[in-house]
Amino acid sequence: MLYPESTGVARIFTEVLAMETTKLWNRNFSLVILASTMGTIGGIAGGFALAFLVFDETGSTLASALILAIQLLPFLFIPIVIAPIMDRLPRKTFLVMGDVANSFLIFGMGLWLLFFDFSYIGYLALSLLLACLGSIDELAFTSIYPELIPKGAEQKGYAVSSMLYPVLTVIMTPFAAVLLDTFGVAWILIAQGGLSLLAAITESFIRLDETERHDSATYSLQAWVSDIREAVQYLKKERGLLGLYEYMAVSNGVTCAYSPLLIAFFRTFPGFTAAMYAAFSVVEFIGRSIGSALQYRIKIPDKKKFGFVFFVYQSYSAMDMCLLWLPYPLMLVNRGICGFLGSNSAIIRNAAVQTYIPERLRSRVNAFLGVLVTAGCSAFSLVMGFLGEILDYRLCITIGGTFTLLAGFVLILVRQKEVRRLYEPDISEGLS
């Protein structure tokens, strides 16, 4: 039975939802989100299972970190090579065919594990190949996604994409733990391959006219070099943008390096289990989900964005420093708060940066920025993985948080005026 109050709330909610649907949820946007949902579900389950498989088979944090470094390697050079070409060809083709190829490789990996023993060297090679495809797919998605969001709904569109991964992680992580114990890694990967193929089929129904962007002339090496040089010159002038992403290279690199350390900690420290690690991750993603939902509804004034983002960065680092020294319930609180703050700052940053970068340069500049962040992830994964072999896992996390905290002051606060330009468009003229 519905009470009058609940009926009124339901009516208001329906009206709001209808309004948002009209503005944002058109055919193309709905299809890309549906495809992303299927791919993300498979990726979360498969990634969870493989992370534990590698550590269980090797017993080494360095071996796990090497996998991460190998997976990041293609992101260091492939986006730079492919970005100028992608600007002149249909990006939808890259997106669809990338998911098709990815589905067959993952399905094949599942079949191998079903009948043969795990091979660390083989997995390294396959990880490299999958990462090559992933680097192209990510660039294609980053480039095509703004074109699928209705004009005027950019912030909401990015809020939805930012909400997708944490929400699905909250749902899938405990489910993945159950699937891992029940069916094993092989069947999870087979299912992931099937979902990736379904995502590709869904993406193929996206309607997007990309003919206006294409140069009919034959693309030459000279033109490619010219396109790259133009992006490099742009980044040289944008000290604020470069400083922000230098910091992201450090912070994302350290955070990326945490994964094998956390798995090792929960696997080896007395009283901790894989299920507790799953809950640990879920709480953080619940926080991210709430933060993304807030960004969908509330807009922070431009003049307050820089201060808020910098506060988040430093708070996140400080909470990392003490993370594993806390009792488990406080660990959960720590991650929930970090997830909430982190999603807010990420949405604000992405919307600001993608709006700030000129549209004609967006793919190339994003490629360079992505390479910078990836380089940080690769380097710090290896460094932290090595430290995990010789130091207490808790101390390693504390060292990483301390380094990130200092990087915030050196790379962002020192260039405060230039970085503010990204978040406060009204001051751009005075600083140009």
pLDDT of 95 over the 70 cut: yes
pLDDT of 381 over the 60 cut: yes
Using a 10 angstrom Cβ sphere, with 0-12 exposed, 13-18 middle and 19 or more buried, the burial of residue 431 is: exposed
Nearest to 266 by CA among 257, 275, 258: 275
pLDDT for the residue 288? 82
pLDDT of 406 over the 90 cut: yes
| pLDDT tens-place string over residues 252-294 | 888 888 888 888 888 888 888 777 887 877 788 788 888 877 8
Q: What pLDDT band is residue 3 in, cutting at 50, 70 and 90? A: very low
Is 211 contained in some domain? no
Is 303 contained in some domain? yes
pLDDT for the residue 135? 86
Of all residues in the chain, the percent with pLDDT exceeding 90 is: 15
Q: How many domains does the chain have?
A: 1
Is 237 contained in some domain? yes
Is 213 contained in some domain? no
Left if phi > 0, otherwise alpha if psi is -120 to 50, otherwise beta: which for 271? left
More confident position, 381 or 383 = 383
| pLDDT tens-place string over residues 140-174 | 888 788 778 787 676 677 778 877 877 787 778 77
pLDDT for the residue 31? 92
More confident position, 34 or 65 = 34
CB 354, CB 157: distance < 8 Å: no
- Which residue range(s) make up the domain with 263? 26-205+224-431
pLDDT of 408 over the 80 cut: yes
CB neighbour list of residue 359: distance below 8 Å, 6 or more residues apart: none
Is 85 contained in some domain? yes
| pLDDT tens-place string over residues 342-351 | 888 888 888 7
Domain CATH number, residue 82: 1.20.1250.20
Q: Which of 7-11, 149-153, 386-390 has the lowest mean pLDDT?
A: 7-11
Q: What pLDDT band is residue 197 in, cutting at 50, 70 and 90? A: very high
Is 82 contained in some domain? yes
Q: What is the Cα–Cα distance from 108 to 87, expressed in whole angstroms? A: 32
| Mean pLDDT in residue range 402-407 | 93
Is 279 contained in some domain? yes
Instruction: Indicate the average pLDDT of the chain.
Output: 81
pLDDT for the residue 12? 34
Using a 10 angstrom Cβ sphere, with 0-12 exposed, 13-18 middle and 19 or more buried, the burial of residue 220 is: exposed
Of all residues in the chain, the percent with pLDDT exceeding 70 is: 89
pLDDT for the residue 162? 77
pLDDT for the residue 219? 65
Helix (H, G, I), strand (E, B) or coil at 206: coil
End-to-end CA distance of the chain: 62
Q: What is the Cα–Cα distance from 271 to 264, expressed in whole angstroms? A: 13
Using a 10 angstrom Cβ sphere, with 0-12 exposed, 13-18 middle and 19 or more buried, the burial of residue 239 is: middle
pLDDT of 17 over the 80 cut: no
pLDDT for the residue 143? 77
Is 7 contained in some domain? no
Q: What is the Cα–Cα distance from 429 to 432, expressed in whole angstroms? A: 5
pLDDT of 430 over the 50 cut: no
| Mean pLDDT in residue range 313-331 | 91
pLDDT of 7 over the 80 cut: no
